[in-house]
Amino acid sequence: MSATMTKDSISVQHSSEVAAGERFEFGKNWAAFLAVLDDERIATAVESLKTMLEVDSLVGKSFLDVGSGSGLFSLAARKLGARVHSFDFDSNSFACTQELRNRYFPNDPNWRVEQGSALDADYVASLGKFDIVYSWGVLHHTGEMWKALENAVIPTTPGGKLFIALYNDTGSQARRWHWIKKTYCRLPGILKTPFAVAVSAPDEAKKIASSLIRLKPTEYIHSWTRYKNGRGMNRWHDIIDWVGGFPYEVATVDEVFEFYKKRGFTLTKVTTGGVGLGCNEFVFEKN
């Protein structure tokens, strides 16, 4: 760890922010997700990496997972042959990633897992350079998104790829969700699940009505049972992650594009269509 933040100091900071209602416990949610992780979900995660990075293999490549969460995409990168370094600020996410490493690649010298902060530039610099720097749906939860985006430049080697996903800025709608997320994190534990159900209910009702009107009731059912066909994730855990996901910041596609253009990056792939409040995905190449 860097001189500025040790593993113990990160754990203390994380716990204090959770206790103050300033941070969602992403790691606890991911720990529950590991109970339903299966080979199909892993295969889906592998395919999504291959698609966005436009590769068939990562053999001979180094992969930095900034905010590894459940560890699923670190696992996917390792299965593709990359040398992987994973880190996360959240104590339970750090533990989840360690668990996946122990489960699928025990004692593997080519997959290292640490607890660290994307906001700690000294720590990030200490990791060295990587062919692929990956951070999906993470940096907007740091509390200092633009600083985190700046720090993501540090470990990206010239000619390397930076693959990030960030929440889309939808104006007043995003500001309303900022309030919802902050409220969720400040509720007593017993009220959090009912609150998540209540705020999700209107959107779920619309989806049910739409499927019934079009005489396709199984479409809604499949939106739950086949949800893992997206990125290998689980819908209920993603709903909790969404409702509780605080800190919460957003950015437009143009803002992200201009930010990295000024720092010598070229946009090579972007997925933005119809994401609404969700994540825009970007793959940049460092010049």
> What are the chain's domains?
7-169+248-286 (3.40.50.150), 172-244 (no CATH)
CA 63 to chain CA centroid, nearest Å? 15
Closest among 144, 152, 93, 140 to 242, alpha carbons compared: 140
Closest among 253, 244, 106, 263 to 183, alpha carbons compared: 244
Inter-residue contact 100 to 72 (CB < 8 Å): yes
pLDDT of residue 199: 92
DSSP letter assigned to residue 141 = G
Q: Which two tokens stand for residue 83?
A: 């040398």
**Sheet hosting strand 156-167, strand order edge to edge:** 111-115, 83-88, 62-66, 130-136, 156-167, 279-286, 265-271
pLDDT of residue 217: 79
| Residue 55, Cβ density class (10 Å: 0-12 exposed, 13-18 middle, ≥19 buried) | middle
User: Which residues, at least 6 apart from 67, have a Cβ–Cβ distance to it below 8 Å?
Assistant: 87, 88, 89, 93, 118, 135, 138, 139, 141
pLDDT of residue 225: 65
Can you give the pLDDT of all 287 residues of the chain as single tens digits?
444 577 788 888 988 998 888 898 887 877 878 888 889 889 999 999 999 999 999 999 999 999 999 999 999 999 999 999 999 999 999 999 999 999 999 999 999 999 999 999 999 999 999 999 999 999 999 999 999 999 999 999 999 999 999 999 999 999 999 999 999 999 998 999 999 999 999 888 888 898 888 888 788 777 766 655 445 456 777 888 889 899 999 999 999 999 999 999 999 999 998 889 999 999 999 99
Inter-residue contact 89 to 115 (CB < 8 Å): yes
pLDDT of residue 1: 40
How many other CB atoms are found less than 10 A from the CB of residue 256?
Answer: 19
Q: Which contiguous run of DSSP H or E holds residue 74?
A: helix 72-79
DSSP letter assigned to residue 168 = B
